[in-house]
Amino acid sequence: MNKAIIPNVLKWARQKSPWILHFNTGGCNGCDIEILSLLTPHYDVERFGIQKESSPRHADILICTGPVTQQVKPRLQRIYDQMPEPKWVLAVGSCSCSGGIFSDAYNILGGIDKVLPVDMYIPGCPCRPEAIIDGIVKLLEQVK
């Protein structure tokens, strides 16, 4: 097999079948419910090839909700480090984008970008499932 074809096949596969890992860093669970509704038959993101994964070792996209607390910071970094390259991070919700209403609390570091490089921000409190799907699709267009 031609070795020049292999990178193109891998890029095509990543774009057509992204595996997502969801991690809540300490929010109110409003965005978590919206992310879980993506998997219901009403939105059915699996028709786009998006698969929810429970292991960071197999995930392509890390979807984070909630503000980063001091307690969860090392766990978040460890999960990110366990993901294979290339990997992308989505900050879903106002709390994960900027700290949200929790930003003045003593144990809150801020948004996800205080700990990890974020590739896509999806604001809202909570985000609509349509906005999350749109954010994932736009992220996959950047993968091209």
Predicted confidence (pLDDT) per residue in 82-104, tens digit: 998 888 999 998 888 888 888 88
- Among residues 83, 47, 48, 49, which one has the least CA distance to residue 63? 83
Tokens linked to 116: 């990890």
Locate 114 and state its tokens.
């205080």
Domain 17-133 has CATH 3.40.50.12280: yes
Q: So where are the chain's domains?
A: 17-133
Task: Identify the pLDDT of residue 95.
Answer: 86
Tell me, what's the pLDDT at 77? 94
The pTM assigned to this predicted structure is 0.84
